[in-house]
């Protein structure tokens, strides 16, 4: 009898609960009654010129800055040599900021270690997959398993907490910076083996989960296991997946270690750490329980493609961060204009600085924070844009736009803390991504998981819907529609929960490569999609991978319907499926499987399950998800779809509903009719609100009596 991997786990490892709690034994909540505005500030670079520090405060106040992040890269200034601490300069600056109405997000400095630490204890440096110890340098170059590194970070964290843990200026702790990367040193290898032993219990269970009989790669002992390496084993998918899970566990354990040190030092403020844009190296869902509020850094490649497309991609990432904890988040970093590290450092076009920030607000952020407040004079990020450039004045386009944005946040204060509820959700699952992108076949030339998720997301958003972005472990209650594209890896009880969701009346969309493997990347035996053949009313028989440049067509089954176009293009992946109870909506138009089903509908209980077996073009996803939403009787403002580049997002609070309309296209767009809604705020004020120029924002308000619909659990109807 075949058993999926989760059935023979003896126990799972978890982050220590005591490290997830504050000193009084319960989680903290970060909340603010005003939007935070400001960003990363590095005054340690200017200690020899105190007049610049005073000028900075004057200019920041002119830009309506009310919060800055300090200490991210300040370890060498705080501890210039082992056990020699200099906190006086930091205290002076915190005091001056507080006197001027500027709050502080105080960082622990572990994100960039000092040179003396690496010289004295080389073990703190990382070892790469080729087993080479790194030289000192860079930023992400420290081993989370190193006892020395843990001791030294805990030491400085405790001292910072003792000094500033009750300072009225400090509102939040920023733990380390942009966690990422991995270490393959002997310490990490041993920790990995211990983690595996805790996960599997016996080596025979590990061998079974990793299918090590293949190529005669059976392990005799946990001591034999090495992390994946180009010099050794790279083709055991179970090993690769477990290594990635372990890297998340190591990172989370280090994060918890730092939080614990802050609490030991007496810090009573909430904590966060900054996640990154579409970063696949860590499973952020696993780390989220350690922090009191989710925060992240958004650096999309504006102007590298049509801005409407970039905006949609950034919107998905905002919603992903909001959905992790189902509440407001913080935009911890973004660029005021150009960066220094992207392939091409294009200036943000006029108006985009404000539009990108307000997009974050629309999707649930309670902050707009930037990197950096004053432009560095030298080293890596000297050409990264800043509020205060090398000229040292406020007489710049960027400063003016930033000041206008700061003023806007003051005017929008009543929106702070409001929610952005969604009744449609899309799965974007990090561990599923690891498995899909790490699989050898069916298409090593690119599987396009992220792009498929984006198509589902865009299709729902163009209907004017808020959308949550989930991983497969999160609850499904409260949603009308769930899109689970390319759910290749099934973990835990996801099959049972999807069946229950549809049976109770939900609408589910699955796509090609659903239900192929378990959480060790072992293929399910029997009919697939595994455990979902009755739910979907079909089973997969074959998968055809197409070369780049090849395509097929999808043809509507009913010629007289207006729900679908006569024909769509598809590429890359075409599954062959056999129907049981499902009914075809689209069929293939070409190749030997011409006329066979490609998109289907199946009633299951009180709901419907849909399947799209090919990698179809955007318009197919748009029409299919509109069809699904209409059948689900979900209140939809724009059944025909919003124009390209026009985004509608909603935040809801006690005083009503706030509807953001933003134009990310390169042409002016007419403002669609919003019955019962009143103009609340706009880029160009209350005049000419019938037309949105590129990068304009208009916000409309519905009173609370109009904004809530009991039958739809809070979704607003217009």
| Residue list for the binding site | 139, 143, 177, 183, 185, 188, 341
Choosing from 333, 401, 575, 647, the catalytic residue is 333
Active-site residue (options: 178, 182, 258, 313): 178
What residue numbers does the annotated binding site for substrate cover? Answer: 139, 177, 341
* Alpha helices (H) along 305-448: 307-325, 352-362, 397-411, 430-438
CA–CA separation, 109 and 718 (whole Å): 49
Among 709, 712, 695, CA closest to 657: 709
Give the span between the Cα atoms of 469 and 457, in whole angstroms.
8
Q: Are 331 and 212 in contact (CB under 8 A)?
A: no
For residue 39, list its beta bridge partners: 68, 370
The two structure tokens encoding residue 5: 């991997």
The encoded tokens of residue 32 equal 């603010």
209 three-class SS = helix
CA end-to-end span of the chain: 54
CB atoms within 10 A of CB 4: 19
Q: Is the peptide bond before 442 cis (omega within 30 degrees of 0)?
A: yes
Distance CA(390)–CA(45), nearest Å, equals 13
Task: Assess whether 617 carries a catalytic annotation.
Answer: no
Cα(225)–Cα(439) distance, integer angstroms: 21
What is d(CA 221, CA 203) in angstroms, rounded to the nearest whole number? Answer: 6
The yes-or-no answer on residue 178 being catalytic is yes
CA 482/CA 505 separation, integer angstroms: 11
Cα separation, 579 vs 538, whole angstroms: 4
Q: How far apart are CA 654 and CA 637, in angstroms?
A: 22
CA–centroid distance for 601 within its chain: 31
Per the structure block, which two tokens stand in for 463?
């209907």
- Helix 88-99 to helix 50-62 angle (10° resolution) is 30
CA distance 110 to 499: 45
Q: Are 522 and 538 in contact (CB under 8 A)?
A: no
Query: Helices then strands (H, E): number in the chain?
Result: 18, 26
Query: Two tokens at 383?
Result: 């050409």
Q: Would you list which residues are annotated within the binding site for Zn(2+)?
A: 143, 183, 185, 188
Longest dimension (CA), the chain: 80
State the DSSP string of 216-285: G---SSGGG-----TTS----HHHHHHHHHHHHHHHHHHHHHHHHHHHHTT--S-EE-EEETT--SS-HH
Strand pairing category for 538-545 and 481-484? unpaired
DSSP state of 606: T
Residues tagged active-site: 178, 333
């Amino acid at each position: 009898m075949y058993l999926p991997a989760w059935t023979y786990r003896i126990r799972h490892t978890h982050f220590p609960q005591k490290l997830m709690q504050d000193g009084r034994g319960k989680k903290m909540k970060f909340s603010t009654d005003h939007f935070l505005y400001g960003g990363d500030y590095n005054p340690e670079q200017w200690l020899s010129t105190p007049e610049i520090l005073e000028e900075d405060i004057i200019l920041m106040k002119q830009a309506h800055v009310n919060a800055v992040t300090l200490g991210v890269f300040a370890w060498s200034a705080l501890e210039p040599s082992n056990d020699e601490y200099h906190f006086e300069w930091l205290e002076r600056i915190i005091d001056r900021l507080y006197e001027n109405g500027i709050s502080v997000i105080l960082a622990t400095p572990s994100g960039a270690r000092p040179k003396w630490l690496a010289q004295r204890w080389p073990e703190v440096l990382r070892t790469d997959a080729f087993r080479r110890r790194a030289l000192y340098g860079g930023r992400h170059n420290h081993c989370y398993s190193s006892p020395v590194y843990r001791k030294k970070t805990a030491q400085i964290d405790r001292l910072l907490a003792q000094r500033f843990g009750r300072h009225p200026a400090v509102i939040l702790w920023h733990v380390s910076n942009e966690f990422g990367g991995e270490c393959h040193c002997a310490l990490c290898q041993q920790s990995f083996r211990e983690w595996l032993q805790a996960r599997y219990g016996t080596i025979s269970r590990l061998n079974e989960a990793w299918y090590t009989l293949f190529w005669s790669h059976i392990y005799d002992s946990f001591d034999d296991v090495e992390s994946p390496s180009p010099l050794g084993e790279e083709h055991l998918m179970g090993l690769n997946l477990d290594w990635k899970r372990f890297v998340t566990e190591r990172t989370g354990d280090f994060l918890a270690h730092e939080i614990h040190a802050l609490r030991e030092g007496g810090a009573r403020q909430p904590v966060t750490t900054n996640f990154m844009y579409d970063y696949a190296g860590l499973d952020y869902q696993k780390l989220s329980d350690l922090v009191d509020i989710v925060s992240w850094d958004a650096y999309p490649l504006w102007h590298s493609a049509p801005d409407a497309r970039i905006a949609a991609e950034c919107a998905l990432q905002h919603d992903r961060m909001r959905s992790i904890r189902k509440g407001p988040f913080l935009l911890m970093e973004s660029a005021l204009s150009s960066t220094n590290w992207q392939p091409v450092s294009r200036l943000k076009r006029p108006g985009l600085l404000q539009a990108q920030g307000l997009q974050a607000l629309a999707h649930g952020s309670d902050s707009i924070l930037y990197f950096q407040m004053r432009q560095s004079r030298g080293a890596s990020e000297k050409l990264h844009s800043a509020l205060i450039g090398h000229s040292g004045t406020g007489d710049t386009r960027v400063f003016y736009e930033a000041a206008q944005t700061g003023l806007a946040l003051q005017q929008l204060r009543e929106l702070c803390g409001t929610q952005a509820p969604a009744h449609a959700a899309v799965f974007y699952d990090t561990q599923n991504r690891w498995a899909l992108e790490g699989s050898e076949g069916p298409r090593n030339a690119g599987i396009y998981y992220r792009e498929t998720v984006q198509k589902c997301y865009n299709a729902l958003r163009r209907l004017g819907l808020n959308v949550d972005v989930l991983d497969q472990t999160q609850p499904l209650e409260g949603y009308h529609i769930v899109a689970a594209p390319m759910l290749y890896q099934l973990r835990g009880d996801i099959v049972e929960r999807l069946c229950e969701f549809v049976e109770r009346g939900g609408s589910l969309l699955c796509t090609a490569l659903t239900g192929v493997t378990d959480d060790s990347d072992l293929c399910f035996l029997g009919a697939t999609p595994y455990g979902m053949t009755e739910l979907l009313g079909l089973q997969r028989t074959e998968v055809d991978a197409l070369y780049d440049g090849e395509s097929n067509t999808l043809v509507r089954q009913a010629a007289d319907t207006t729900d679908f176009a006569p024909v769509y293009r598809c590429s890359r992946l075409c599954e062959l499926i056999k129907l049981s109870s499902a009914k075809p909506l689209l069929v293939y138009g070409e190749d030997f499987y011409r006329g066979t089903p490609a998109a289907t509908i199946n009633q299951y209980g009180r709901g419907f399950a849909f399947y799209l077996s090919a990698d179809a073009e955007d318009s197919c996803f748009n029409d299919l998800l509109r069809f699904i939403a209409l059948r689900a009787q979900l209140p939809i403002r724009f059944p025909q779809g919003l124009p390209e580049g026009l985004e509608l997002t909603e935040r809801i609070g006690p005083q009503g509903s706030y509807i953001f309309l933003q134009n990310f296209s390169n042409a002016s767009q007419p403002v669609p009719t919003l019955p019962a809604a009143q103009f609340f705020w706009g880029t160009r004020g209350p005049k000419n609100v019938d037309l949105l120029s590129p990068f304009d924002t208009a916000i409309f308000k519905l009173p609370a009596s109009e904004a809530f619909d009991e039958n739809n659990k809070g979704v607003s109807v217009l």
